[in-house]
Amino acid sequence: MTGFSLVELAIAIFIMALLLGSILIPLQSQIRSRKLEETDRILAQAREALLGYVAANGYFPCPASSTSNGQEASPNHANGTCNASVTFAAGLIGFLPAVTLGFTPVDGSGYALDAWASTQNRIRYAVANATVNGVTNPLTTTSGMRNATMASIQSATTLLYVCRTGTGVTATGCAASTDELSDNAIAVIWSLGENAPTGGTAPHEDKNLDNNRVFVLAPYSTNAGSVFDDQLTWIGPPMLFNRMVSAGMLP
């Protein structure tokens, strides 16, 4: 009885490698798809948790900082201020205050994570802190939205922007009105995706890390020069007011 020659063994190994590769690549795609779907679900639950908090309290919580262990960072809802580490020129930007919201699950430090579940994949959260109708920090202040009025908040031009592309955006808006998914978002909740945090070097994703009031939700892409796998949702005035009116917090 003769065995396989080295050439025959090499051919067999090559064929097995091809077969294994043809199995693993679809499997990797399926795993990625499931994680994208799971992250979308987590972000939707986080949005609902924020809306529930506002319906109960009449204001948004401060973001959590990198050292607040999932609690909102140094809140003073009498005047709507938060810790300086989450306060920027046009918004309050940090992490979802999962512990404050009673949001689960969280990691050992109290932060909610996306489906990739690394420390770099903590769910992020921003809320506008613009003055509206003469009211400072109306979104995070007790009775602030009632005093600013729904009409003034709805028409405010200094809230948060969500753009469909990072190309040409500035620190204050999208490149063109046709690029705007929202020009008056009140709060934004997002994940840095599978490539976190290296996506910050990409032309679209870096707009979600530069701590201003403009965010990007571009099409998913792994192509060099247009990489984007961040996932993002937001709360606009109609959604917010509907919840607050139903809860008796407005008008």
Distances (CA, A) of 128 to 80, 186, 194, 249: 11, 6, 27, 19
CB 217 within 8 A of CB 181: yes
Banded model confidence at residue 135, pLDDT cuts 50, 70, 90? very high
* Mean pLDDT along residues 140-165: 96
Please say if the pLDDT value at position 17 is more than 80: no
Q: Give yes or no for residue 30 having a pLDDT over 70.
A: yes
Average the pLDDT over 224-251 and give the result: 93
pLDDT, residue 1, reads 47
Q: For 120-133, how does the pLDDT look when each residue is reduced to its tens digit (9 = 90+)?
A: 999 999 999 999 99
How large is the average pLDDT for residues 158-176? 94
Mean of pLDDT values over 165-187: 95
* For residue 231, pLDDT beyond 80: yes
Per-residue model confidence (pLDDT) at position 21: 63
Residue 197 has pLDDT above 90, yes or no: no
Give the pTM: 0.87
CA distances from residue 49 to 14, 167, 194 in whole angstroms, order as listed = 52, 32, 24
Q: How far apart are CA 233 and CA 218, in angstroms?
A: 12
Q: Is the peptide bond before 197 cis (omega within 30 degrees of 0)?
A: yes
The C-alpha atoms of residue 155 and residue 21 are separated, in whole angstroms, by 54
For the chain, the straight-line distance linking the first and the last C-alpha, in angstroms and rounded, comes to 91
Q: What is the DSSP string of 32-87?
A: HHHHHHHHHHHHHHHHHHHHHHHHHHSSPPPPB-TTSTTSBSS-BTTTTB--GGGE
* CA dist., res. 195 & res. 116, Å (int): 9
Percent of the chain predicted with pLDDT > 70: 90
Rounded to whole angstroms, how far apart are CA atoms 125 and 203? Answer: 21
Closest CA to 80 of 130, 22, 118, 119: 130
What is the average pLDDT across 172-176?
94
Closest CA to 163 of 152, 153, 173: 173
The order of strands in the sheet holding 187-191 is 87-88, 91-95, 124-128, 187-191, 231-235
pLDDT tens column, 203-222: 888 899 989 999 999 999 98
pLDDT tens, position by position, 72-122: 999 999 999 999 999 998 799 999 999 999 999 999 999 999 999 999 999
Residue 23 pLDDT class (50, 70, 90 cuts): low
Provide the CB-side half-sphere exposure for 194 (13 A, CA).
16
What are 232's two structure tokens?
């993002």
